[in-house]
Amino acid sequence: MGVVIKAFRTPLGYYVYDRSSNMIVKVEKEEYPVVLKLEAGREDEETAELLKAYRAKGILKENRLTEIRHPASQTLPYHLEHRVQKITLQLTQSCNLRCDYCAYSGKYHQRTHGGGKMSMETIKKSIDYAMKRSDGVEDLNIGFYGGEPLLEFENLKKAVEYVSGAYHDRKVNYTITTNGTLFHDEIIRFLSAHDFSVMVSLDGPKELHDQNRVFANGEGSFDRIMENLRYIKERYPVFFQKISFNTVVPPGSDYKCIEHFFSANDLIEENHLSRTTVSEFSLKDEVRYDDRYFVTYQYQTFKILMAALGFYDKKKISRMFSTDFVEIQRFYDHLGEAPVCTSCAHPSGPCVPGARRPMVDIDGNLFPCERVSERSDAMKLGHVDTGCDPVKADRLLNIGRLTERECIHCWNFLHCGLCASAADNGTALAGDRRLSYCESSRQGTLNTMRSICLLREYGYDFEGDFFDEEDRVISGTEK
């Protein structure tokens, strides 16, 4: 079976990542060619000797993995019955905007904007469904999603009132994702009174934001959003602090310009900010980011590493990228944990579908989350009337079985991150579709490992406190 490893270099060192121990090991320059031979599966006297030495230290063990099976497979029915952590209600499929890269714009294997909305009966059933199946979690999270959920503010209000009445002593956290164009006093007061966490989509300066985020009549939405935000900050400063922003960076956009907007804008300077790229999953046509995107991205990463080493002022790090370092730290913190040393395991990536964060569409159909295609039969887990189909949930949970042969020998097994939606080609779950994302996933892991090694080479203390606790908490929430 051999070993499953990945050899890599930094300007100052030679390393090997060992899946059997989930550790990065520094190797001597002279050993590196032998490690490369091991990685390629070539065996000779040299590799045997090196293996013997490493195995005496408990690393580079023989790959025992023969079967892909998620550890939660056997207990899946218990997860579905007791561990629903978050439920997202699609209050409406309508939206007052027509964003170019929206999942419902017609560019995805996904439904398009429609006029349907969730009935109060379905809302109540969905809440009952989650309440009944969340006795294993401390607090339930209820999210409101759309379309634009604030178009259905009356039903949103009734939903919260229903929870307050029927489950008055249950701890519930509310979240809403909105385009930020529909706020008014009543909405703000209500969301504030019920301690909502609000995520507003804002893509940067007016010229960029309005390129994609437009009303149905083609008019940009930037001015309306900023006007609303100014009003909220002035009149409801405490609530304003609970608003976070997500910026979608579409291909071809000027990263630097976006970055400048968020660092120079004093209106939202203290709010949490996250960034995403246009989702590739279920997209009909390929999405391509140009060199400018990658150069800016790498430059920002470079600045973070320099700041960690004390060569750059950490206050100058882009807020859009500050959480990237926390990911590096997390990766480091978890090295050595949960190595692949059994005959049966599953690559990282899939959540427990139907338990972690199920989404209910306007008709009461259950999906693993709001990010999957609602048109995909594979993703439709069931209905709030009948519950999740455990067979379908198991298929999504064990998505790695589609690519078992490749996963068994993949060094990125523990850091893969590809969930079932990566295998959804619009009509079925397909192994080749899933494999098409492997390279970028592996490259991401390799970059993180190189960053870790580079930081160590320059004396960075991973047990220190480069980012304070608050930064980590924010990132944790975001994750």
Partner 1 sequence: MKKIALFPVQKNNAPLARYQNRIPDTEVIPILAPAHKSMAGQDLSALDGGSHTGITLRGDFEKAVEDCELLYLDDSRFLTREESYAEFIRTAERHPIRIIYARTLSERLHLQDEESCSQKWQASGLGDAGKLTAVDIPVISVLTMGNETDQSHVEIGMRRFFQDQGYRVSQIGTQEYSRLFGFSAVPHFLFANLDGKRKRLMFNQFVRRMIKEEKPDLLIMGVPEAVMKYNNRIPAGMGDVPCIMMDAVQSDIGVLCTCCQPYTEEYFKELSLFGRYRLNCELHYFNISNSVVINDEDYQDRLEHLPLDSGFVVSHMYDGVDADCGFEIFNSYSDMSSDKAYRRMEEELAGNPEAMRGGI
Q: What is the DSSP letter of 339?
A: -
206 binds partner 1 (CB under 8 A): no
Which residue blocks in 96-214 are alpha helix, DSSP H?
Answer: 120-132, 153-166, 185-193, 206-212
Which of the ranges 109-117, 126-134, 258-266, 309-317 carries the binding residues for partner 1, by CB under 8 A?
Answer: 126-134
439 binds partner 1 (CB under 8 A): no
Residue 21 or residue 212: which is nearer to partner 1 going by CB? Answer: 21
Residue 37 or residue 82: which is nearer to partner 1 going by CB? Answer: 82
Residues 311, 314: Cα–Cα separation, whole Å: 9
132 binds partner 1 (CB under 8 A): yes
Shortest separation between residue 259's beta carbon and partner 1, angstroms: 27
Using DSSP's 3-state secondary structure scheme, residue 215 falls into: strand
DSSP string over 50-69: HHHHHHHTT-SPPP---EE-
Residues 260, 210: Cα–Cα separation, whole Å: 17
CB 84 within 8 A of CB 137: yes
Residues 139-158 that bind partner 1 (CB under 8 A): 139
Shortest separation between residue 392's beta carbon and partner 1, angstroms: 17
Residue 207 or residue 333: which is nearer to partner 1 going by CB? Answer: 333
Q: Which of 356, 395, 409, 442 binds partner 1 (CB under 8 A)?
A: 356
Residue 342 or residue 427: which is nearer to partner 1 going by CB? Answer: 342
Using DSSP's 3-state secondary structure scheme, residue 290 falls into: coil
CB 59 within 8 A of CB 23: yes
352 binds partner 1 (CB under 8 A): yes
Which of the ranges 169-177, 190-198, 277-285, 308-316 carries the binding residues for partner 1, by CB under 8 A?
Answer: 169-177
Shortest separation between residue 22's beta carbon and partner 1, angstroms: 12
Letter for the amino acid at 129?
Answer: Y
Q: Which pair of tokens denotes residue 221?
A: 């939405």
Site string for partner 1, 67-86 (x = CB under 8 A): ---xxx-xx--xx--xx---
Residue 39 or residue 81: which is nearer to partner 1 going by CB? Answer: 81
Site string for partner 1, 240-279 (x = CB under 8 A): ----------------------------------------
Residue 26 or residue 479: which is nearer to partner 1 going by CB? Answer: 479
Where b means 16+ CB within 10 Å and e means fewer, 25-41 reads: bebeeebbebbebbbee
338 binds partner 1 (CB under 8 A): yes
Angular region, 336: left φ>0, alpha ψ -120 to 50, beta rest: left
Residue 43 or residue 139: which is nearer to partner 1 going by CB? Answer: 139
Count CB-CB contacts under 10 A for residue 145: 20
164 binds partner 1 (CB under 8 A): no
Residues 238, 236: Cα–Cα separation, whole Å: 6
Shortest separation between residue 171's beta carbon and partner 1, angstroms: 6
1 binds partner 1 (CB under 8 A): no
Please choose, from the candidates 266, 285, 251, the residue with its C-alpha nearest in 3D space to the C-alpha of residue 108.
285
333 binds partner 1 (CB under 8 A): yes
Shortest separation between residue 71's beta carbon and partner 1, angstroms: 6
Which of the ranges 128-136, 200-208, 233-241, 303-311 carries the binding residues for partner 1, by CB under 8 A?
Answer: 128-136
Residues 257, 320: Cα–Cα separation, whole Å: 12
Q: Which of 30, 169, 291, 468 binds partner 1 (CB under 8 A)?
A: 169
Using DSSP's 3-state secondary structure scheme, residue 473 falls into: helix
66 binds partner 1 (CB under 8 A): no
Q: What is the DSSP letter of 323?
A: H
Could you tell me the CA-to-CA distances from 453 to 300, 317, 467 in Å, in that order? 18, 21, 18
Letter for the amino acid at 478?
Answer: E
User: Cα 389 to the chain's mean position, in Å?
Assistant: 24
Shortest separation between residue 78's beta carbon and partner 1, angstroms: 5
Q: Which of 348, 365, 436, 447 binds partner 1 (CB under 8 A)?
A: 348
Shortest separation between residue 462's beta carbon and partner 1, angstroms: 12
Peptide bond into 147 cis (omega under 30): yes
Residues in contact with partner 1 by CB under 8 A are: 70-72, 74-75, 78-79, 82-83, 131-132, 134-139, 167-171, 330, 333-334, 337-338, 342, 348, 350-352, 356, 417, 479
